[in-house]
Amino acid sequence: QVQLVESGGALVQPGDSLRLSCVASGRTFSSSPMGWFRQAAGKEREFVAAKSWISYTTYYADSVRGRFTITRDAAKNTVYLQMNNLKPEDTAVYYCAAGAGRVGTSTHQYDYWGQGTQVTVFS
């Protein structure tokens, strides 16, 4: 059974940093593109970051570029989202996702999803 489990969400203040983790089990995702998406209350799920571990092509949403970084530890089958200089508008449930084809920014390109982890940025 394939599972993606996120963790690391928290209640933080503007300017703080957080690192989200996504542990994959059930299969290895070493060659799969991995992405992070988020969904704020009352809004649609939106793309945050994604990376291909074959071509190392990396995409970031304009709203997080320069503040967020997607990385991985292949030995641990874990993908991370380092989030710096957090803002109130970053408040959302964050989801990691694994794809099977090319890396992209659409939810339709990802086949496996985690259950999400809540990030709340308040002042």
| pLDDT of the residue at 100 | 85
pLDDT tens for each residue of 52-106: 989 999 999 999 999 999 999 999 999 999 999 999 999 999 999 999 889 999 9
| CA 66 to each of CA 49, 85, 98: distance values in angstroms, whole numbers, following the listed order | 11, 10, 23
**Residue at token pair 């190392």:** 56
**CA angle at residue 113 from 38 to 66, to 5 degrees?**
40
CB atoms within 10 A of CB 6: 22
Q: What DSSP string runs through 3-15? A: EEEEE---EE-TT
Residue pLDDT, tens place only, 11-61? 999 999 999 999 999 877 888 899 999 999 999 999 999 999 899 999 999
User: Which value, in Å, is the radius of gyration of the alpha carbons in the chain?
Assistant: 13
